[in-house]
Amino acid sequence: MTSPQTTTGPGRLLTPFNLVAGIIVVFGMIITILRFTGGLASVTNLSDDNPWGLWIGFDLLVGVALAAGGYVTSAAVYIFGLKRFHAAVRPAILTGFLGYALVVLALHYDVGRPWRLPYPFVVSAGTTSLLFEVAACVALYLTVLFIEFSPAALEWLGLKRARHLVTRLTLVLTILGVVLSTLHQSSLGALFLIVPAKLHPLWYTPYLPIYFFITSTIAGLSMVICESALSHRYFHGKMDAAHLSGNRDLTLGFGKAASWVLLGYFVIKVIGIAADNQWHYLGTGFGAWYLVELLGFVALPAFMYAVGVREKNITIIRWTAAWTVLGIVVNRFNVCLVAFNWHLPAEQRYFPHWMEIGISVFIVTLGILVFRFIVTRMPILHAHPDYDAH
Amino acid sequence: MSISRRKFLGWMGGASLVAAGARKAHAAANRSFEGYAGSLAVLHDITRCIGCRRCEAGCNAVNELPQPEKPFDDLTVLEKRRRTSAPAYTVVNRFAPAGDGQPPVFVKKQCNHCLEPACASACFVKAFTKTPQGAVIYNPNVCVGCRYCMIACPFEIPAYEYDKALDPRVTKCTLCHPRILEGKLPGCVEACPTEALVFGPRDELIRMARDRMRAHPGRYLDHIYGEHEMGGTSWLYLSGQPFETLGMREDLGTAPAGQLTSGALGAVPMVVGLWPVLLTGIWAITQRKEKIAAHEQAQAVAAARAETEAQAEVRLKTALEKAAKENAAAVAREVKKALETAKTAPQGESDTEKKS
């Protein structure tokens, strides 16, 4: 393992990480220019049959789910009173905020006229659309996350009075965050309620919004475990005693919660199959893939989390968390891309263009760069010396 | 209490106005929309279609669409299944019915102009409108280009100008709405040489379709496609072949698209109303638990301290008493000793005196 300081140490610009990130950013810029001069046709494999591709499936659906750590952690600490996880709140809020900001950035690539994104609110409100609800909640929640994140920036800037004012809003913001997250996380699933004719019956169920909401909490818990593991490794020098010592406790606590929620999710998934009597589809090719998702990415991590927590084995929990995050990606891809349009012949199905993948990688890279910029400067992984942990 | 029935109903009306968003979704309304009265529609008699593509040409001309690569009288394009696209609002497809020697069947495909359109329900800027005349029309001036309408459409009709960088539009058949307003026929209907397309009020067309079924037994299946599909559409189809074999789905159901999402939308105000109460409640309970725990801890500490103090006092007291006792005993002993010495001393003295 290279020393963690290679990426965080001041003055060293030409690190392997920076080099790779730089190349990705340059490529991203080029594809961006192509996108906004040649249209979607020049950089994507989207078609009239497949109007949504990787940028919706990954950047929007996966992005929003994986950014759920913010509301999960702040709710655990400020509402459920699990104060021992307090050190995890700021990194989780920061990744949540960056996640949502990047989702909105990615949407600018996908929609035809991005400057019209505020239209649903200021020009013509289509309130019968689930997408309206998603848009409204994402816009509001991005604002909430920004305010929740701002104390760290205000401490960094030394604006004590503003910081004091914002921290007094903590409880209200947390509740607002949970309400908005409940709504838009579930609405992303509800987007597909309108397509029983296009989505495979194993994935299409009236429970879709509930599934999406529950999996968002699983994603949130697992992402916080993964992020804390990565921060531990690469930003060790930036972490104070509270963050270093709380890490193990956090991993065990969130791992236990994730195990239980995955178990509950497994149960309601089976209920979904039973309620619509879709058992016979399990014998088909799509059924096999469904079982891979259900057993491999729901039942297995539920069990492995439980084992990790019982054995107090941090390594098992961390790998399970990474596997669970992958499972969220699989689930969102299945709903949006794999099981969607399952009735179409193979030649009309969608597979992303490499430049679509390029933009997604570019946007994730931007997120990592901004995250690094902030945690190496602002009090995220350590408390600011002038303030108590609030 | 003197609340008149009228007053009460007035309040209820006010309440339902407040819930106007939910009312639109018909979250709990036990009613259905049968379409605008007297709205116009097209009846496509598939058995009369000869696959000449004149309707495609007519559509292309009245909508001023770009000329296709192959001209409209080139029928080789029928060899491939086609769908609607940005430059083609309508396409004719050829199907080979089961059984040898059967002549091919041609079906025209375009927007079906649903009575309650999925695209309109899905659009978050209300870019789609079902007009009272029957057409579902699109407003490019508000469209953001999210393409959710294309996802939502069960008939896979809306297309998109993927090659436009800055002003892509969603495109689809307009039922020639501007021409309807002028009292003209839709371009395709006007161009059809075999009257496979008939334009008129929807309810009259349904009657006409039934008349044809009665007049030509065996020619048609007993199914007017579009009468009930997805809540009913303004394009109606008659066929002698099962619609499923003609690329038309028969598993769409009769519920309009809006009903599929109204439940989820109806849950939104419930979450907004109840979540803050629930969460504040949980917060208050944890706060109270902490407070009680702190209080109990303080009490326990105080009690423990009091007990220790009491014990200490008792111990001190006993110790003091013991000490006092010991003191007294010691004094008594000393006194006794002294007395004894005093008693024995004179004897001793006398003894010594005697001895001496």
Q: Which residues in chain B are contacts of A61 at CB distance < 8 A?
A: none
> Are A194 and B124 within 8 A, CB to CB?
no
> Are A81 and B24 within 8 A, CB to CB?
no
> Are B261 and A193 within 8 A, CB to CB?
yes
Query: What are residue B138's phi and psi, to 5 degrees?
Result: -120, 135
Does the predicted TM-score (pTM) go above 0.90?
A: no
- Give the 3-state secondary structure of residue A353: coil
Q: Which residues in chain A are contacts of B279 at CB distance < 8 A?
A: 75, 79, 174-175, 178-179
Which of B121, B151, B280 is facing A128, going by the closest CB pair? Answer: B121
- Sheet strands side by side (includes B197-201): B197-201, B40-45, B235-238
Instruction: Calculate mean pLDDT across residues B231-259.
Output: 94
Residue A363 counted as domain residue: yes
Residue A283 counted as domain residue: yes
> Are B264 and A80 within 8 A, CB to CB?
no
Q: Which chain A residue's Cα is nearest to B268?
A: A183
Give the pair of three-digit tokens for residue B303: 């009690």
Could you list the residue range(s) of the whole structural domain that residue A153 is in?
19-375
Residue A182 counted as domain residue: yes
Q: Which residues in chain B are contacts of A126 at CB distance < 8 A?
A: 123-127
Residue A206 counted as domain residue: yes
Q: What CATH number does residue A273 fall under?
A: 1.20.1630.10
Question: Do A229 and A318 form a contact (C-beta atoms < 8 A)?
Answer: yes
Q: Which chain A residue's Cα is nearest to B22?
A: A128
- Measure A349 CA to nearest chain B CA, in Å: 14
Q: Which amino acid is at A255?
A: G
Residue A387 counted as domain residue: no
Q: Which residues pair with B88 in a beta bridge?
A: B85
ipTM here: 0.91
Which of B122, B142, B279 is facing A119, going by the closest CB pair? Answer: B142
Question: Do A207 and A190 form a contact (C-beta atoms < 8 A)?
Answer: no
Mutate to test the interface with B, among A36, A82, A141, A194 (most CBs of B within 10 A): A194
Residue A1 counted as domain residue: no
Residue A388 counted as domain residue: no
- Give the 3-state secondary structure of residue A384: coil
> Are B151 and A194 within 8 A, CB to CB?
yes
Task: Quote the Cα angle for B50-B54-B57, to 5°.
Answer: 150
Residue A78 counted as domain residue: yes
> Are A38 and B275 within 8 A, CB to CB?
no
Overall number of domains in chain A: 1
Q: Is the pLDDT of residue B349 over 70?
A: no
> Are B144 and A117 within 8 A, CB to CB?
yes
First and final CA of chain A: distance in angstroms? 35
- Measure B31 CA to nearest chain A CA, in Å: 17
Q: Each residue's pLDDT tens digit in chain A (390 positions)?
A: 344 444 444 557 788 889 999 999 999 999 999 999 999 999 999 999 999 999 999 999 999 999 999 999 999 999 999 988 998 999 999 999 999 999 999 999 999 999 999 999 999 999 999 999 999 999 999 999 999 999 989 998 888 888 989 989 999 999 999 999 999 999 999 999 999 999 999 999 999 999 999 999 999 999 999 999 998 888 888 888 877 888 899 999 999 999 999 999 999 999 999 999 999 999 999 999 999 999 999 999 999 999 999 999 999 999 999 999 999 999 999 999 999 999 999 999 999 999 999 999 999 999 999 999 999 988 888 888 777 654
> Are A126 and B126 within 8 A, CB to CB?
yes
